[in-house]
Structure 1
């Protein structure tokens, strides 16, 4: 089992999400500081000019409340993405932006669609369905945590609130599900215990031999072994001494 198959923490797990969120805040600071408005660079559906928003819209936000509500879950979810699915994390982020943005361009209303909420829905959807498909307790636990934290977001994939791009949310949800299906086999494989292997013999397990069939502990006394004293052979070797011609 190679290193890619283990859940490992590294500096990139935190550094990449921080860097991504920092860029979003720098763009917003630039707008406020110099009094410019980048909303026109968002996704404008079914127009050639509006295609530029497929790439640029996740970095553009309308106000401080908008950017705050987007960057917090974006940081949490992208950190989980890099921790549990690092080999495919960049693919999910990059193609998630492109595909969800393009779907928004296809089905959206004639208005500027801005914000990173589409990407957030990609991550929520991907993390949830990927954990379900993986059938591994850590990833399922992550899916349940995502549902607990962001489950209410499902209502915003339909037009329930004016001024909210439900088309972008729906596009992100669909994209995340497609990614979970496409990357279904690319998951971190957990370490197997001894009893999970096919050639495991329960009768030879050194731990289980201390318990009977009902689960009661059996004290196994090791036979006493008489301590043998070490045998030391003392040998005397007589050495013949010869004198040389000088008598020494």
Structure 2
């Protein structure tokens, strides 16, 4: 399971990833109807009264363009990240989500950090390093293809563009590396290696 590159049930995987992205569009539609009231409900660094926003931040986007910019890579990378099955995908997503949110909460700059780009960077990092941790040549091939398609996005982990949460990108990517290591470790433990 740890060395798979194709999801065991591609239709289910597609439905799960499409369902999540569809939910993001529903949340944005509700936010538009409410006049953008959700935009300030992202991760607010070091604000103890708003710590639970770590749960919601990937659902929230500043506008349709922000959401659409995250949706396409989320569909592609999310689907590829389901290759270990839906249970593993949910575990990987949880590690990325929490690492991205907590890291941003601890070191983020002032303001509300919103959007699913932390998940995008997390799935990207997960896919780039999982083959190395799992010692899987086919996953390394997938990583090379993913890098060719999305590698330039990695510059987004560096500060630079105002209004872009590089902290969310950086900690999402670190969460992806952590998740890849955990998946490989668990696979080796299950094999008794």
Same fold (TM over 0.5): yes
1:5 Cα deviation after fit: 7.6
Instruction: Tell me which residue corresponds to 1:53.
Output: 53
Residue aligned with 1:38, SS: helix
Residue aligned with 1:160, SS: coil
Q: Which runs of 5+ in 1 are unaligned?
A: 188-248
Distance 1:71 1:171 in 2: 19
Considering Cα pairs closer than 8 Å and 6+ residues apart, tell me whether 1 or 2 has the greater RCO.
Answer: 2
Does structure 1 conserve the Cα–Cα contact (< 8 Å) formed by 2:96 and 2:119? yes
Instruction: Tell me which residue corresponds to 1:157.
Output: 157
1:141 Cα deviation after fit: 1.5
TM-score, normalization by structure 2: 0.88
Distance 1:99 1:49 in 2: 19
Give runs of aligned pairs for residues 156-195 of structure 1, distance below 5 A.
Answer: 156-186=156-186
Give runs of aligned pairs for residues 84-95 of structure 1, distance below 5 A.
Answer: 84-86=83-85, 87-95=87-95
Instruction: Tell me which residue corresponds to 2:30.
Output: 30
Instruction: Tell me which residue corresponds to 1:98.
Output: 98
Larger % of helix: which? 2
Deviations 1:86-106 (A, max 9, x none): 141110112321221011100
Distance 2:150 2:2 in 1: 28
Deviations 1:107-143 (A, max 9, x none): 1011100000111111111111002222323211111
Question: Runs in 1 of length 4+ with deviation above 3 angstroms?
Answer: 3-7
Instruction: Tell me which residue corresponds to 2:116.
Output: 116
Distance 1:78 1:139 in 2: 15
CA change 1:61–1:155 in 2 (3 A) is same
Q: Which runs of 5+ in 2 are unaligned?
A: 188-193
CA change 1:154–1:10 in 2 (3 A) is closer
Residue aligned with 2:78, SS: helix
Instruction: Tell me which residue corresponds to 2:191.
Output: none
TM-score, normalization by structure 1: 0.69
Does structure 2 conserve the Cα–Cα contact (< 8 Å) formed by 1:118 and 1:172? yes
Deviates more, 1:126-135 or 1:161-170: 126-135
* Aligned-pair Cα RMSD in Å: 2.0
Count the aligned residue pairs: 185
1:186 Cα deviation after fit: 4.6
1:150 Cα deviation after fit: 1.1
